[in-house]
């Protein structure tokens, strides 16, 4: 991985305060990253109690390893990387990851109120289909399409090569399309 030194003054100040023992600063870190961590953990781990435990574990690991943060990425990306790896470790203990060949259907409309309802229904169908993907594919789809993270940011979180990320995203979209077409008549989606 080609690592560039990432410089964010706010991250540096926050890390400095955390390392100095400022618990309020760590609270800011949690507040700033909790939605992203919830996305990562929520997409990879099905059991609610396990999700809570892993989220706590993520922040404990982040706190314990804060001195190891090298500002090679955003602080939020580093914490998300801890979350991703914690989820992988949890899943590997439970069972091996299985990848299904996994394109999101285009959801378009003209803006009418009935069309907007149709869009919401379609989005719900797609969301349910995404939930059926293997954890890693589900997470990659979420990070890329919901969190709008770049391939480079996803690479920093997952430690997967960019080509692998692109390939997995393609597989995930393909699986979604095939599963949706199998479940619904083409005109219904």
How confident is the prediction for the chain on average, in pLDDT? 80
CA 102, CA 177: separation in Å to the nearest integer? 8
Q: Has residue 109 got a pLDDT over 90?
A: no
Q: Are 83 and 41 in contact (CB under 8 A)?
A: yes
Q: Has residue 110 got a pLDDT over 90?
A: no
Domain boundaries, the chain: 9-94, 113-188
Helix, strand, coil shares of the chain as percentages rounded to 5? Answer: 70, 0, 30
User: What is the per-residue pLDDT for 115?
Assistant: 45
Tell me the pLDDT tens digit for each residue of 46-104. Answer: 889 999 999 999 999 999 999 998 888 889 999 999 999 999 888 877 764 443 333 33
User: What is the per-residue pLDDT for 106?
Assistant: 37
**36 backbone dihedrals φ, ψ, rounded to 5°:** -65, -45
Residue 23 pLDDT class (50, 70, 90 cuts) = very high
Tell me the pLDDT tens digit for each residue of 138-162. Answer: 889 888 888 888 999 999 999 899 9
Domain 9-94 has CATH 3.40.50.2020: no
pTM for the full predicted model: 0.64
Characterize 29-67 residue by residue with b for buried, 16 or more Cβ atoms within 10 angstroms of its Cβ, and e for exposed. bbebbeebbebbbbbbbeeeebbeebbebbbeebeeebe
User: What is the per-residue pLDDT for 27?
Assistant: 95
Domain 113-188 has CATH 1.10.10.10: yes
User: What is the per-residue pLDDT for 15?
Assistant: 94
Q: Has residue 186 got a pLDDT over 80?
A: no
């Amino acid at each position: 991985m080609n690592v560039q030194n990432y410089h964010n003054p706010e991250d540096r100040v926050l890390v400095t305060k955390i390392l100095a023992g400022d618990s309020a600063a760590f609270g800011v870190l949690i507040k700033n990253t909790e939605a992203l961590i919830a996305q990562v953990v929520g997409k990879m781990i099905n059991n609610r109690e396990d999700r809570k435990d892993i989220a706590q574990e993520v922040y404990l690991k982040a706190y314990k390893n804060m001195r190891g943060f090298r500002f090679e990425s955003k602080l939020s990306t580093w914490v998300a990387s801890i979350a991703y790896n914690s989820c992988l470790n949890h899943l590997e203990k439970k069972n091996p990851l299985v990848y299904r060949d996994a394109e999101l259907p285009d959801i378009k409309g003209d803006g009418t109120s009935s069309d907007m309802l149709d869009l919401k229904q379609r989005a719900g169908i797609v969301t349910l289909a995404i939930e059926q993907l293997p954890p890693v594919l589900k997470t990659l789809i979420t990070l890329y399409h919901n969190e709008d993270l770049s391939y480079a940011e996803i690479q920093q979180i997952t430690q997967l090569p960019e080509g692998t990320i692109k390939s997995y995203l393609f597989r995930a979209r393909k699986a979604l399309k095939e599963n949706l077409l199998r479940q619904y008549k083409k005109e219904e989606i």
